[in-house]
Amino acid sequence: MPVDHRRIQGPECSEDYRKPKNLDAALLKKGGRRADGRKCGEQRKIFLKPGVVSQAKGSAYIELDHTKVICSVFDPREKASRNVEQQTVRGEIFCEFKFASFSGVQRRSHQQEADDKEYSLLLKNALEPAVCLHEFPNFQVDVQVLVLQDDGSSLAAAITCAGLALADAAVPMYDLPVGLSKAFTGDTEFYDPTGAEERLCLRGVDGESDHGVFTVGFLPTFNQVSQLFHSGHISPDRFEKMISEVGTLAAEVHKAVQAILLSAVKSSIDSSNNSKLLL
Amino acid sequence: MSSTNERIICVPGQVLCASSNDHVAGQGTFERMGYIYASLAGVVKVEKKLEINIVQVQSLKEQSTVPSPGDIVTARVLIVKSRQCMCEIKCIGDITLTRPFRAVLRQEDVRATEKDRVKMYESFAPGDIILARVLPIMDVHTYQLSTAENELGVVISNSEAGVPMVPISWTEMQCPVNFTKKLRKVAKVIPENIDMDMEDNTETEKKPNIS
């Protein structure tokens, strides 16, 4: 389809420029509880399962209440040589992030849109530091993420899911990456936001300067942040405070991922009847 | 870590032990800041070699094999050009690959002697199965192969009749159906069962030599 490069394309849909006066009543009930009954600093219950896609070398499925993400990792293949000048002998991770057409309230395109491409790059930045790229020189590992249902924190869920899928695919890694997200506006912070909370915090509340959604890719063992994405407005002190909290918040998710992986390995050992591994 | 039946299971990023002169990081592990960490999800194995404990992690899924320099690979010749031929690596050693890798075999690497006088058309043909060795990676995108050894070269080659040809010398192969000779760089493949009785061998291998 011919694209017009001369004119500046406006957004396809329009939004009211006025910010809401106060936090929507539906979002914060009495007693400081959120719409789904959680406290502001509480994570949704995680459901994780590795080895769900039979055609892929490794795969994982994550559910955070209504956010459902599935990730598949494929065997290393030769790098699609785009840059002949890029003479690196390192391996590469090729991420493809996609919101399914049925994942949100409005139908999305079946091809990658602008935010799919942006999230692909963010996911790649989050996963790259965790993978031992020198172990497969000149090859690329394909990571395909599909968001089946989006109810907030989909990028964070994708990072966690992709980390588990990479471990399931026996790709050598330095650490299990974990994704976290926080939405905030003014003084109110929603940890692991739902879709409605995210949308409100992206626009901000009238009169409050700090707002936005913060997504972090974190490597728990080495206490390193691999990827940080913030959309909105934040003061430097607030920023520092948020970064310092990431470690403790990530520990919970990391424990869950570790436990799932260990039990998956254990059940594979038991099912193979100790035949191959004893050699 | 958790153990079942005295086996230690680990996940990537888990600390295994402190690294020292006795304990060395092996396959599936990496060393950092004086400690050995696991890089795969699997079972921890400690191998003792000359009083050094090599700490390894064995994953349940086979780690994807990638051709590395020095490996002997089985490849199929795709295109033969005047100075090189393009091949597709099918197996590395005994392991058959799920995804074939592209490789290049240059004129200088076909033989050990008289390298510049080699004619590619007289050494390989498209569709031949060859045994070759992987050379150290020079080019970023393709592997480089070498058949400059007696044991390397064409193993299976089909004639125009569609029948596998029989090697008659190190440079010729003959079709058993129409007896035409073709020039190839033949590999010295030593069969697994060798009949050491030389007399029997010459009788069974007698073939009409009509040129």
Confidence of residue B202 (pLDDT cuts 50, 70, 90): very low
d(CA B5, CA A276): 15
Residue B49: strand, helix, or coil: strand
A175: nearest CA in chain B? B13
Longest dimension (CA), chain A: 68
DSSP state string for B56-74: EEEESSPPPP---TT-EEE
Higher pLDDT, B94 or B41: B41
Find the helix or strand (DSSP H, E) in which B203 lies: helix B198-204
Give the distance from CA A66 to its chain's centroid.
15
Q: A251 and chain B: CB distance < 8 Å anywhere?
A: no
The average pLDDT across A121-129 equals 95
- Beta-sheet strands, E only, within chain A: 46-50, 58-64, 67-73, 77-78, 92-99, 139-149, 178-185, 188-191, 211-219, 224-233
Closest partner residue to A269 (CB to CB) among B4, B62, B64 is B4
DSSP state string for A203-218: H--TT---EEEEEEEE
pLDDT over 90 percentage in chain A: 55
Place of tokens 């990792």: A73
The average pLDDT across A142-157 equals 95
**Mean confidence (pLDDT) of chain B:** 83
Q: Do B12 and A87 touch (CB under 8 A)?
A: no
Q: Which amino acid is at A33?
A: R
Confidence of residue A89 (pLDDT cuts 50, 70, 90): confident
d(CA A149, CA A52): 17
pLDDT of A208: 75
The average pLDDT across B68-85 equals 91
Q: Which residues contact B209 (CB under 8 A, 6 or more apart)?
A: B168, B179
Q: Do B58 and A277 touch (CB under 8 A)?
A: yes
d(CA B113, CA B148): 8
- Mean pLDDT comparison of A68-72, A248-252, A258-262, highest-scoring range: A68-72
Which residues make beta-bridge pairs with B85? B80, B105
Substitution target from B3, B30, B37, B66 for chain A, most A beta carbons within 10 A: B66
Query: What is the dihedral sign for C-alpha B164, B169, B170, B173?
Result: negative
Q: B61 and chain A: CB distance < 8 Å anywhere?
A: yes
Q: Chain B contacts of A219, Cβ < 8 Å?
A: 13
**Of B8-12, B105-109, B186-190, minimum mean pLDDT range:** B186-190
ipTM above 0.85, yes or no: no
Extract the tokens encoding A210. Answer: 């700090």
Higher pLDDT, A62 or A88: A62
Q: Do A277 and B63 touch (CB under 8 A)?
A: no
Q: Which amino acid is at A73?
A: V
Give the distance from CA A266 to its chain's centroid.
27
pLDDT digits (tens, 9 = 90+) for A211-233: 899 999 999 999 999 999 999 99
pLDDT digits (tens, 9 = 90+) for A249-260: 999 999 999 999
- Residue A50 confidence (pLDDT) above 50: yes
The pTM of the full predicted model, rounded to 2 decimals, is 0.79
